[in-house]
Structure 1
Amino acid sequence: MTAQPVLATFLKGFPSPHAFLESAETLLDYAFQPIVDAHSGDSYGYEALLRNVGQMGFQTPVEVFDFAEDAGVLVELECLLRKKAVTKFVSLPNRGKAKLFLNVDARLLETDGYLYEETGLLLDGVNLAASQIVLEVCEAGEIGDNGRLAEFTKLGRDLGFGFAIDDYGRGYSQLKSLYDIEPDILKIDRFFVQTINSDARKKLMVRTVVDVAHVLGMRVVAEGVETAQELATCKDIGCDLIQGYLVARPFQDLEEAEARYPVVSSAAKRPVLAPRDDMELVNREIKPLVPLQDRARMEEVLNLLRAGRANPFIPVINASGEPRGLIREKDIKTFVYMPFGRDLLLNPVMSNSLGAFTHRCPIANFNTPLDQLVEMVADEDDEAGGIIITRNGKYCGFLTTTSLLKISNEVRMRAAENQNPLTKMPGNASIIQYVQNDAQSPEVERSFCYLDFDNFKPFNDAYGFTVGDRALLLFSELLKRLATSEDVFAGHIGGDDFFIGARGRTTADMKNMIGDLQDAFRHQAESLYDPSDRLKGYIEAQDRHGVARKFPLLRCSAAILHLPVGLSVDRKDILGRQIASLKSEAKGCESGIAEATLGQLVSPSVL
């Protein structure tokens, strides 16, 4: 041992490196923080976080590892801590097939064998599969040799370990790190998650990363989720897993672990137009192709191909049932048709290397919106031939590109049939579907707004149907701009009647939005009048009874019905009666807006 490590330990108060390790063994502990499925709230895994470093005289866990390196015992410390984390993890109640996420110090990539042999023996001793361990490499870490990193991940993946890039977005390698590591899981740095619900730039950046990750066959963790609004946004943009104080703080007491975290499963979800219809179409086309485990032998691959599969690929899963990729028939046939190719495939060395034939494939959860599924296979060079579909992260089937495009065309045709022919906005069927879905989604505040023009008939009579259609188109464009927001839906009922639905907006927010819409329409509609009428501020025309009258310039009236959190309504007639009543009130109101909250108008017993 050199003088430098001895000096380092002495200066920190430890008489020797061995004393430092003994102290670490005695004092250090791990806390576990749950990582849960973004839709069900089921526990997917736990990240091991080092605790009690202050009792050894350190400020942060990083200081502990820095000190160990200076003392020449970094490898020994890592082995000691891995044993401590794994031993505690196997004692978790209701652990099931949850995964243990272990952070890897980048300096250990210089270690021969990367401690895989030591870790494997440790796992064998507690009867834990390598597939239940996810090794996290920090994207912001200083990794000097990308070749070592690629070798580290390839060797570990062959042994069954999973890999994650931690704190993605904090460092500078970014897309290159995805290419080098090919992680199973991508963890978005908490900087991008905090306030993502109100930061359009963060939302766009994270959505882009999520889309890329899914196409590359990765799952995405949103780190640092602390509010229900952040959770709802992360779910909406496609994050698969959630970690943060909203779910649970790190705990050292194992009794705090839960199999499911209701705060996630009950969180607000973005409504999707006709989701049941779309999901039924997708589920109908999912093919339950028989998968192979990544530990299967090549003889099993050949037997499946010999059985005459309708699809030229075989899904591959790990011991936990999670997809690893596809084996393509054409790759195997390349060997089969070679001289001695079959013998080569069945050779024990080749037969145990199924990973060499496994290709990454796009992966999506079974409830992923149809438009996102289509985007994942939009590439003309789509060699995977489709998307692996999962449920709670486990393989459940395969959706071919051909089937997906057929579904997409069918949905587009339905949408076109339902569009208003003039404004091209969603028509009555979509509006009814939206209202039915949203009225029965009590986890968030909702608003239904019925809009129609005041004095449209005399305007139409005076200026003709062509100018009348221009007024309708002008108003529809204003509504379409509102509907670009993810929490707003707009549709055209017919004639001069329109609809807006919104989620998560307060009554004040909704009234302000409609007031701004009225002002914009009133201002723009003035351009449709002759200068003389515009100057007078009214037109002279006959009413419905043929009596000549003065009619003010166009404006829109709005009836806004709010549904508070916790209220679910499955009777359309109640909604219809309340909106009709508000519509009449709005017509006679100076502001042109009438609003009410349904729970305050109707007894809950009749809903």
Structure 2
Amino acid sequence: MQMRTARVHGHEALLRGWEAAGFASLAALFQAAVDEGALPALEAYIQAAAVAAFLAAGGTAEVRLFLNIHPLAQGQVPPPPQGEQVHLVYETTGTGPIPTRAGRDGGDRRGRVDIAFDRFGVGVADFQRLLASPPSYVKIDRAFISGVDGDQAKRALLGQLIGSAHALGLATIAVGVETSREFYVCRDLGCDHAQGFLLGRPGGGLLAEASEIAESLTRSDRRRPSDARQRLFELIERIAPLPLEAPKAKLLEYFGNLAAPPVVPVVDRAGVPRGLIRERHLKPFVYSRYGTEILRNRAFGNTLKDFVIPCPVCDIGTPLERVIELFAEAADSDGVIIVEGGEYVGFLSSQSLVRLLHEHRLATAVDQNPLTRLPGNNAITAQVEALVTDGERDHVLVYLDFDNFKPFNDYFGFRQGDRAILMFSEQLKVQASALGGFAGHIGGDDFFLSCSGLTADRMRERLVAFLGRFRSDAESLYDVETRERGWFEAKDREGRVRRYPLLRVSAVMVQLVAGAPRPGLETLVELIAVHKTAAKAAPDNLFLVAG
């Protein structure tokens, strides 16, 4: 199922009924076939039965049929059945030879075949095979999807897997999506497709064209599109792509137009990007004596695939920072192909990406704290408003404030005060990165941290450890005598000399529970102000407010 359009992208054929044949498990059935030397025949029978059931249920070439292939049979997969326009996707594991791709480019009348790497991310050879023989899809294992909404480490790893696949121009499938929260996280990270019990359970009957559950999830998502996504829409070049099966001579016609761009994206029959073609790669043919005749000669191959080069691919919902990263990571890149629901939308040229990068840096610099380089009040306000609007997940907002910072700054000097602020801000950046959250600098000794997907109890544990670590590290800002004594003397606001403890930071933590009514921005500010004193008085310097 395409995550943004809710259209059904394909169906996976599942083998059932081995018990009736006297086998204890599916593995036992295949092991018996291996022992008897009947594995190729079994695979051929399963494929024929799956194709017949698919067609009987209304399947067409516009919807893929995914078939699992036994590792020992991957090099012996039978070709698609004659006369049937079926778009097959062979699912392979991390071992064994890669199945052939008969008809993938549209030249085989028996149908089309694509390859999907199953259980992506858990096999030791996955990335090596990805480079050696790139598939069309990678199916990200359930291990990375289960509970991803409440696990920041999983979310970070999932984002990297999706980004790595997109950098190679591959479509991603999240396997085992079972909750709406998992659905939203996978979609927000840019995953193209999803599969799991939330979206549909195994069964027979007619095939649906769209997922009612996915459509409902999309309708109920009240979060407004990000400004970055709106900007992407504005800068995308709507370059008409060329079909992969087009004859090579089509390139002469296309680039013969003086208004043609220097590159053209190439898509398959389903609208899925396969890469792009550069005009400059045609120059050896155009300017050679027989070059144009070679391009028109069918004997030398008559599809565009020989000229197609890889290009990074991003979903339209991919965060702007990740789009820029993909462009920067790809050597000699002409830009990024933009897709929605796995299908081609447009092309973001290198010039547009440079412009985006400049705008992003400028906007960041304007609102950035000059000392800590952390986002300032405008960015913090936008972050809070976004989290208040997102009612599908748990969020935690944290206000952090130094205790007795003014006496410390007055007594030890502003240079030591700046060192304390910088020390804390660097540790806060690391904490936000580990949590997959957001860190900001309100001003002076006031900071902000937010995190999504963690429970309040788990966030409290992390914060208590973080505040304790800073309190210990901050002792390095004092001389030996002050450290051993545990206090220093300085004047208070009324000019009286008082004893102050060593530096520490207090925090007010506001919990926003999924599905519960959310307070507005002004109410949140009031909640924090009211409980600052309680946080400073708490043994662990932390006070939790249920939002």
TM-score of the aligned structures, taking structure 1 as reference length: 0.78
- Does the 8 Å contact 2:74/2:92 carry over to 1? no
Counterpart amino acid of residue 219 in structure 1: A
What is the aligned partner in structure 2 of residue 214 from structure 1? 166
1:404 equivalenced with 2:334 (yes/no): no
Q: Please list every run of 5 or more consecutive structure 1 residues that lacks an aligned counterpart in the other structure.
A: 1-35, 124-129, 599-607
CA–CA separation in structure 2 for the residues paired with 1:435 and 1:86: 50
Q: 1:494 to 1:268 in 2, by over 3 A?
A: farther
1:417 equivalenced with 2:366 (yes/no): yes
Please say which structure displays the higher CA radius of gyration. 1
What is the aligned partner in structure 2 of residue 307 from structure 1? 257
Note the C-alpha offset of 1:68: 5.8
Name the SS of the counterpart of 1:435 in structure 2.
helix
What is the aligned partner in structure 2 of residue 4 from structure 1? none
Decide which of 112, 119, 133 is 2:88's aligned counterpart. 133
Identity value in percent:
35
1:163 equivalenced with 2:125 (yes/no): no
CA displacement 1:50-107 (0-9 Å, x = unmatched): 1112222234445555656777776665454334322332454798943211234566
CA displacement 1:488-517 (0-9 Å, x = unmatched): 222111111111112122222233333333
What is the aligned partner in structure 2 of residue 454 from structure 1? 403
Q: How does 1:358-507 map to 2 (within 5 A)?
A: 358-379=308-329, 381-382=331-332, 384-507=333-456
Q: 1:596 to 1:349 in 2, by over 3 A?
A: same
- Does the 8 Å contact 1:232/1:268 carry over to 2? no
Q: Which has the higher contact order (CA 8 A, sep 6+)?
A: 2
Note the C-alpha offset of 1:218: 0.9
What is the aligned partner in structure 1 of residue 130 from structure 2? 178
What is the aligned partner in structure 2 of residue 43 from structure 1? 8
Name the SS of the counterpart of 1:100 in structure 2.
strand
Note the C-alpha offset of 1:306: 1.7
Q: 1:121 to 1:497 in 2, by over 3 A?
A: same
What is the aligned partner in structure 1 of residue 523 from structure 2? 574
Name the SS of the counterpart of 1:49 in structure 2.
coil
Q: Please list every run of 5 or more consecutive structure 2 residues that lacks an aligned counterpart in the other structure.
A: none
Name the SS of the counterpart of 1:122 in structure 2.
coil
CA–CA separation in structure 2 for the residues paired with 1:536 and 1:391: 62
Q: 1:280 to 1:70 in 2, by over 3 A?
A: same
Decide which of 260, 266, 271 is 1:321's aligned counterpart. 271
Q: How does 1:114-153 map to 2 (within 5 A)?
A: 115-116=78-79, 119-123=81-85, 130=86, 132-140=87-95, 142-143=96-97, 149=99, 152-153=100-101
Q: 1:68 to 1:267 in 2, by over 3 A?
A: farther
Name the SS of the counterpart of 1:396 in structure 2.
strand
Name the SS of the counterpart of 2:84 in structure 1.
helix
Counterpart amino acid of residue 12 in structure 2: E
CA–CA separation in structure 2 for the residues paired with 1:44 and 1:407: 32
Note the C-alpha offset of 1:378: 2.6
Note the C-alpha offset of 1:446: 1.2
What is the aligned partner in structure 1 of residue 287 from structure 2? 337
Note the C-alpha offset of 1:587: 4.4
Aligned-residue Cα RMSD (Å) equals 3.7
Note the C-alpha offset of 1:539: 3.4
CA–CA separation in structure 2 for the residues paired with 1:94 and 1:568: 44
- Does the 8 Å contact 2:6/2:214 carry over to 1? yes
Q: 1:515 to 1:304 in 2, by over 3 A?
A: same
User: As a proportion of its length, which structure holds more helix?
Assistant: 1
1:356 equivalenced with 2:306 (yes/no): yes
Counterpart amino acid of residue 153 in structure 1: R
CA–CA separation in structure 2 for the residues paired with 1:579 and 1:199: 26
Note the C-alpha offset of 1:376: 2.3
CA displacement 1:145-181 (0-9 Å, x = unmatched): x7xx5xx236544534322122345655434432443
Note the C-alpha offset of 1:425: 1.8
CA–CA separation in structure 1 for the residues paired with 2:115 and 2:266: 17
- Does the 8 Å contact 2:487/2:502 carry over to 1? yes
- Does the 8 Å contact 2:312/2:330 carry over to 1? no
Counterpart amino acid of residue 522 in structure 1: R
Counterpart amino acid of residue 507 in structure 1: A
Q: 1:208 to 1:565 in 2, by over 3 A?
A: closer
- Does the 8 Å contact 2:117/2:137 carry over to 1? yes
CA displacement 1:452-486 (0-9 Å, x = unmatched): 12222222222221222222222223312211224
CA–CA separation in structure 2 for the residues paired with 1:182 and 1:429: 43
Q: 1:540 to 1:176 in 2, by over 3 A?
A: closer
Counterpart amino acid of residue 478 in structure 1: Q
What is the aligned partner in structure 1 of residue 54 from structure 2? 89
Name the SS of the counterpart of 1:37 in structure 2.
coil
Note the C-alpha offset of 1:40: 5.3
Note the C-alpha offset of 1:264: 9.8
Name the SS of the counterpart of 2:265 in structure 1.
strand
CA–CA separation in structure 1 for the residues paired with 2:493 and 2:49: 84
Note the C-alpha offset of 1:337: 2.8
- Does the 8 Å contact 1:247/1:263 carry over to 2? no
Note the C-alpha offset of 1:211: 3.5
Name the SS of the counterpart of 2:363 in structure 1.
helix
CA displacement 1:538-564 (0-9 Å, x = unmatched): 433332233343434333232222111
Note the C-alpha offset of 1:440: 0.8
- Does the 8 Å contact 2:118/2:140 carry over to 1? yes
Name the SS of the counterpart of 1:283 in structure 2.
helix
- Does the 8 Å contact 1:92/1:257 carry over to 2? no
- Does the 8 Å contact 2:147/2:182 carry over to 1? yes
Note the C-alpha offset of 1:248: 3.7
- Does the 8 Å contact 1:444/1:565 carry over to 2? yes
Q: 1:560 to 1:263 in 2, by over 3 A?
A: farther
CA–CA separation in structure 1 for the residues paired with 2:243 and 2:536: 66
